[in-house]
Amino acid sequence: MTEYRASFDADVTFLNGGGMQAQGFRLDVPGPAVSADDLAGLFVGHLGLLMVDQVRLSGVEVFAEAHKGSRGGPSADAPTGQGTRLVDLSHVIEAGMTTYPGLPGPEILPHLTRADSRGVYAEGTEFTIDRISMVSNTGTYVDSPFHRYEGGTDLAGLPLESLADLPVVVVRTTGAAERAITAQALAPYDVAGRAVLLHTGWDRHWRTAAYGVGAPYLTEDGAKHLVEAGATLVGTDSVNIDCTDGRTRPAHSILLHAGIPVLEHLTGLDRLPVHGARLHAVPAPVRDFGTFPVRAYALVPR
């Protein structure tokens, strides 16, 4: 479904005196034919303005763009009673592919070929049993605290409640001038008890040399904010949730120390609404293992 946003200038006056102006303000709108009165109402609601006398809008332009989650806007609440659809958020794993620069790609080989199986089973019955050798950081995967901390919770110890049927909030930073996703950028979102998915658009570089260079990332203060605000899981469609320019990994360290799983190398976040989706991203429960691929997907209201 196509979503729309509006850009406009605003001149606001208040009943108790004073006023304010905005230039080039952008806001989620319900459709391309939004009226000036409705747009003014959305503007006032988004900013939480009180005692407004008049709102004069000029230079209004409405265009197709994914919603950012304007407060009080059309994506603020999940639609109900409309059914759901499934959205796949995982990259396909293939032999030899590169997920993270410098790590080897998976090797996929037969353990028992179909031809060989004919000597094992009854006539007309054949199977293939395959084997895969790969580093754990392959494809779309989830990190448990064990990935970062000796003695931390491993994949087998992660509660399903931290990985499955999670309400989602999508933080859209596509088109941002800065790579860093800071606490200030996250402040407008209610993340308590939610999977916070950082939609940077970096998955467009998947399996190219550009994927590992100059990627968006979550800052240290951004990670601290998500912990303090009560996020349940944090995911990204970038190559790493941390900045990889140096050797420190503050986002991983802070989130995993707090027991918050990290989900990396997502794709298709542009197909999710800001609010209303529910995420499933469950790995195999491997003991003494920190990271493993998942088939991440979301249920999205129709």
8 A C-beta contact, residue 256 and residue 145? yes
Q: Which helix (H) or strand (E) is 28 found in, with range?
A: strand 19-29
Q: Which helix (H) or strand (E) is 220 found in, with range?
A: helix 220-229
Q: What is the pLDDT of residue 81?
A: 46
8 A C-beta contact, residue 206 and residue 237? no
Q: What residue segments make up the domains of the chain, in order of their start?
A: 4-76, 141-301
- Give the residue among 201, 224, 198, 188 at the shortest CA–CA distance from 279: 198
Q: What is the pLDDT of residues 76-115, one digit of tens each?
A: 544 444 688 999 999 999 999 999 999 999 999 999 999 9
Q: What is the pLDDT of residue 15?
A: 67
CATH architecture of 141-301: 3-Layer(bba) Sandwich (3.50)
Q: What is the pLDDT of residue 75?
A: 65
DSSP conformational letter for 215: -
Is 276 exposed, middle or buried, given 0-12, 13-18 or 19+ CB atoms closer than 10 A?
A: buried
Q: What is the pLDDT of residue 302?
A: 84
- Residues near 51 by beta carbon (within 8 Å), at least 6 away in sequence: 14, 15, 16
Share of the chain above pLDDT 90, in %: 80
d(CA 266, CA 287): 24
Q: Which residues of the chain have pLDDT under 50?
A: 77-81
Q: What is the pLDDT of residue 53?
A: 76
Q: Which amino acid is at 186?
A: L
8 A C-beta contact, residue 261 and residue 236? no
DSSP conformational letter for 242: S
Q: What is the pLDDT of residue 23?
A: 94
Q: What is the pLDDT of residue 37?
A: 84
Q: What is the pLDDT of residues 172-214, one digit of tens each?
A: 999 898 999 999 999 999 999 999 999 999 999 999 999 999 9
- Give the residue among 8, 121, 1, 132 at the shortest CA–CA distance from 59: 8
Q: What is the pLDDT of residue 17?
A: 85
DSSP conformational letter for 92: P
Could you give the 3-state DSSP secondary structure of residue 291?
strand
Helix 220-229 and helix 250-257: axis angle, to 10°? 20
Q: Which residues pair with 52 in a beta bridge?
A: 14
